[in-house]
Structure 1
């Protein structure tokens, strides 16, 4: 897939994943769905679903490391700050040639621009949480989250 095609797909996806509602039970379903798929495929990932005030779901699957947990935290912070998926932000940056970590912009100790964090949006409300996966290539992390969000959206 070309960079332009990937960017267009992510831009479309950005507005297509809104949910009608999202509560703690939905956070559990979302995180569990990601974990089940990752376990079945043998992916060594950390999975995180959080609000701005705390963690609703977290799992570190076999083979994941503390580094994956830290990447998940930093990716989630980025998705909250920009209210967009980190994959979309990464693609927009690549298309525009901007370095988000130039002095005075983003602190790499607090933020990560790598796919895998996707805002959970509720129609009429906005971003209420972020679901994150870390441990695979950026695009694969992103796909694990968006597949589970689509499943949750169909419920």
Structure 2
């Protein structure tokens, strides 16, 4: 990815985070969003694991054929990034890359606990801030991120 492409992708993800702010986020909302993501994955035959949390509590978790326990590990590592830094795992990885380093080197965090790869996105509520995380694991990182963004857009509409 060229520097221009990287800068454009960073700007796009930053814009997505500004736009995708919900009015509220309840337990039922987490269930509906998780079901929406699983329906999208089933329609496209995507091998993904979907995880949704609010305030550190796991409210939704499901996996499709073709996933493994490794995807659960990726979910945990991506979620830690969002919970610690309040931004999407994809954005933080891209920002480190733009600085000529890796997320792990930049923050001196262990790779086995933190993964700044696409797929974990902060759930923001208007007037409150980040209240949770929605995560997809199983595809290329840009595709994991894109699926979450598409579902959040549909859910927020």
TM-score range relative to shorter protein: over 0.9
Shift of 1:109: 1.8
* Alignment size in residue pairs: 154
Aligned to 2:129: 126
Aligned to 1:6: 9
1:40-59 pair list within 5 angstroms: 40-59=43-62
Shift of 1:104: 7.0
Structure having the higher helix fraction is 2
From 91, 94, 98, give the equivalent of 2:97.
Answer: 94
Contact 2:10/2:94, CA 8 A, preserved across alignment: yes
Aligned to 1:143: 146
Contact 2:93/2:103, CA 8 A, preserved across alignment: no
Aligned to 1:70: 73
Contact 1:7/1:88, CA 8 A, preserved across alignment: yes
1:77-116 pair list within 5 angstroms: 77-102=80-105, 105-116=108-119
Kindly provide the CA deviation profile for residues 17-56 of structure 1, in whole angstroms up to 9, marking residues without a partner as x: 0001110010011111111101111111110001243210
Q: Which stretches in structure 2 are left out of the alignment for 5+ residues?
A: none
Q: Which stretches in structure 1 are left out of the alignment for 5+ residues?
A: none
TM value normalised by structure 1: 0.94
Kindly provide the CA deviation profile for residues 75-120 of structure 1, in whole angstroms up to 9, marking residues without a partner as x: 0111111100111111111111122223971121211110000000
Of 128-137 and 46-55, more deviation after overlay is shown by 46-55
- Structure 2 CA distance, aligned partners of 1:90 and 1:101? 9
For the aligned residue pairs, the C-alpha RMSD in angstroms reads 1.5
Contact 2:93/2:102, CA 8 A, preserved across alignment: no
TM value normalised by structure 2: 0.93
